[in-house]
Structure 1
Amino acid sequence: MKRLAIASVIALSLGLGTGTAQAQANPDRKITLSGGSIGGAWSAIGNAIGETIRREAPNAAFSYEPGREAANIQLVSQGKVELGIAHAQLIKRAQAGEDPFKAPITNLRAIALIDPQAAVQILVREDSGIDSFEKVLAAKMPVRIALNQRGTLMAVTGEEIFKAYGITAKDIEGWGGRIHHVDYNAGLEMMKNGQVDIIINMLAFPSGQISSATREMKVRMIGISPTVSAKLGDVLGTTPITVPGGTYAFQPQDIATITGSVVLFASSAMKNEDAAAITEGMLKHFGYLKQAHATLARLEPVNLTQTAPLVLHPGAEAAYKKAGVLK
């Protein structure tokens, strides 16, 4: 099906350009956003962004597709969907052609930051005897680990954390352990059932998923050393952050960890006026976005522009400047 340029959809819905009659004659044109699994934060945020598009363009057929980060990057790059959600740090890896990508992908640009605190949160079962990665290595513990699905920065980060501590997947298997690549809700369920000792993910804090899951199981949160944090910054482009003590009932002390950033992005081939239209819609309905999800509630309009290491789409940049949130 043909996909209508977003600016054109808005014009048609308002009776501009060629008029609403033509908009009604082309009902099969749509805008697609590829995000995360249904029920997760990215799904809620993606649909909220879609609502801002619907409010500005009632004739636009917006659809949200559940996806995975690496696939989202490929789909947007190839022009198969208009918008995607991913960590800016994974897009940085895509630009360099690093794992999980086979070749550089350089045609992606940011529309907006949607989560500035995608912090690594490492939970271990209290009865596992694990209180640090150093202990896992020294005792060659047969740990069972839940990482996120392959093709996500969450999974890559989990693998890189173990690697930075000198622990390889081969080591874990050799000690009698196992790595599971599953979505976060499935991993938490495995942890409840005693099938997993460690679970690693990147998400805002406090996380409702963590708070809910830990009502029924005893866990502790472990941190990342400054040395390892610096290594991960070089490899992934992450930055240090602290999860304050008391963020969760089971976590009385500050926990040092790392964070990435999640962005809404498009292809550099998207027309400037289309990228501007999406951005202007988000800014116009920013109050709605803040109410739609707790992660978005932490943001102010200026935060939307903070998409490094991914650069803004020129159209989005122009819209932010027009609105006065970017000089």
Structure 2
Amino acid sequence: MRILTLAAAVGMMLVSHSASADPLNLTLSGGNPGGLWSLLGVGIDRAVKADDPNSVITYQATGGGFANIGLLAAKRTDLGLVHDAEAKIGLQGGEPFRAPVENMRAIGYMYNWAPMHFFLNKEMAEKYKIDSIDDIATSGAPVRIGINRSGNITSNVALKMLEEAGVTEDVVTSNGGQFVRAGANEQADLIQDGRLDMITNGIFIKHSSFRAVDENTDVVLLGVPQEVIDATNEEFGTGTMVIPAGSYKNQKEDVSSVALGAVLVATESMSEENAYSLAKSLIKNIDEVKAVHSSMSALTPELLAKPTVIEFHPGAAKAYSEAGLLK
């Protein structure tokens, strides 16, 4: 009888464990096909499969972070990749949202190393003695400035930084320049063709688009005043990053700038078990995510657990607390 009772107890424990570790089956909304976020989707899928081959993260291509916040708000996706600056706008109900989006919960910080770059044609920089973005306002230079398209968060951040530096549209146009809306790759083509004098974007250091500009065009990386960085970070919940000297051919000194990050976000309706399982798999199998692209090599469990503008899902917080990553 004792043996049977023990066997029954073991059987119940196995059933209980199995029930608490059901495979994950979640949809992740990211960005354009073939972009970094789609690669992160692959890495996250591999991370959960490493713990349970039956788990699956299905990637869904979207228009990016703002679109993903809308999908999370409408409960039309389980997970979304969102820039920290986009998340703060969503929480506040700023454009393009009609009301605050309050159901978002963080699963983990994926990266925080996409600094804002401001490249200016070297000849113009030397002619008008422009070393920093705040020099533009008083230089009188007719600068044609590339700004990302509306709906891309780097557009919001670039305009805020320039405004804080005194570079408003009125100032630019009065000097004979203009703001030109263009995507990152288009900006690269335009400055190489001489149709732009300056380009802006929040992107990884030595990203292919900026590396091509640096190699094929004589440009300088402009400095950013600390007060501009502080005001922008206060506005968007972004961070600060140093672009090391020598990252680009004409860059002789370190340049500090605002840095964008990306967060893996769920909703408050996700079960604690699923959020816990997902975060635990990311911690344990982080190499699966790091392997998707060289730009992800700096990802650590500590970064996953870094607090963001969005509060952690209780399940994710539990996983990080158990791992000693969250106090």
Bin for the TM-score computed over the shorter chain: 0.7 to 0.9
Q: Residue 187 of structure 1: CA displacement? A: 1.9
1:75 aligns with 2:71: yes
Aligned to 2:286: 286
Aligned to 1:303: 303
Q: Which moved more, 1:264-273 or 1:254-263?
A: 254-263
1:247 aligns with 2:215: no
**Residue 109 of structure 2 contacts residue 264 of structure 2 at CA under 8 Å; is this kept in 1?**
yes
Provide the identity percentage: 26
Aligned to 1:185: 185
**Residue 30 of structure 1 contacts residue 63 of structure 1 at CA under 8 Å; is this kept in 2?**
no
**In the superposition, relative to structure 1, how do residues 161 and 87 fare at CA in structure 2: closer, same or farther (>3 Å)?**
same
Aligned to 1:120: 116
**Residue 268 of structure 2 contacts residue 313 of structure 2 at CA under 8 Å; is this kept in 1?**
yes
Aligned to 1:6: none
**Partner Cα separation in structure 1 for residue 154 and residue 26 of structure 2:** 27
Q: Deviations over 1:267-291 (max 9, x none)?
A: 1221111212221222232122222
Q: Residue 73 of structure 1: CA displacement? A: 1.1
Aligned to 2:261: 261
Aligned to 1:104: 100
**Partner Cα separation in structure 2 for residue 86 and residue 259 of structure 1:** 14
Q: Which amino acid aligns with 1:136?
A: I
Report which of the two structures shows the higher radius of gyration computed on alpha carbons: 2
Q: Deviations over 1:14-63 (max 9, x none)?
A: xx55xx9xx9xxxxx96332223334333322332233244434463612
Q: Residue 312 of structure 1: CA displacement? A: 1.1
After superposition, residues 129-144 of structure 1 pair within 5 angstroms as 129=125, 130-144=130-144
Which secondary structure does the structure 2 equivalent of 1:229 belong to? helix
Q: Residue 74 of structure 1: CA displacement? A: 1.1
**Partner Cα separation in structure 1 for residue 183 and residue 249 of structure 2:** 24
Q: Residue 159 of structure 1: CA displacement? A: 0.8
Q: CA RMSD in A?
A: 2.8
Q: Residue 243 of structure 1: CA displacement? A: 1.4
Aligned to 1:44: 39
Q: Structure 2 length as normaliser, TM-score?
A: 0.83
**Residue 131 of structure 1 contacts residue 222 of structure 1 at CA under 8 Å; is this kept in 2?**
yes
Q: Which moved more, 1:74-83 or 1:144-153?
A: 144-153
Aligned pair count reads 306
**Residue 73 of structure 1 contacts residue 86 of structure 1 at CA under 8 Å; is this kept in 2?**
yes
Q: Residue 264 of structure 1: CA displacement? A: 0.9
**In the superposition, relative to structure 1, how do residues 171 and 95 fare at CA in structure 2: closer, same or farther (>3 Å)?**
same
Q: Structure 1 length as normaliser, TM-score?
A: 0.83
**Partner Cα separation in structure 1 for residue 38 and residue 251 of structure 2:** 28
**Residue 84 of structure 2 contacts residue 236 of structure 2 at CA under 8 Å; is this kept in 1?**
no
**Partner Cα separation in structure 2 for residue 61 and residue 90 of structure 1:** 23
**Residue 32 of structure 1 contacts residue 65 of structure 1 at CA under 8 Å; is this kept in 2?**
no
Show structure 1 runs of 5+ residues with no match: 1-15, 24-28
Aligned to 1:11: none
**Residue 71 of structure 1 contacts residue 151 of structure 1 at CA under 8 Å; is this kept in 2?**
no
**Partner Cα separation in structure 1 for residue 309 and residue 89 of structure 2:** 10
**Residue 110 of structure 1 contacts residue 310 of structure 1 at CA under 8 Å; is this kept in 2?**
yes
Which secondary structure does the structure 1 equivalent of 2:134 belong to? helix
**Partner Cα separation in structure 2 for residue 67 and residue 206 of structure 1:** 24
**Partner Cα separation in structure 1 for residue 173 and residue 32 of structure 2:** 28
Which secondary structure does the structure 2 equivalent of 1:145 belong to? strand
Which secondary structure does the structure 2 equivalent of 1:242 belong to? strand
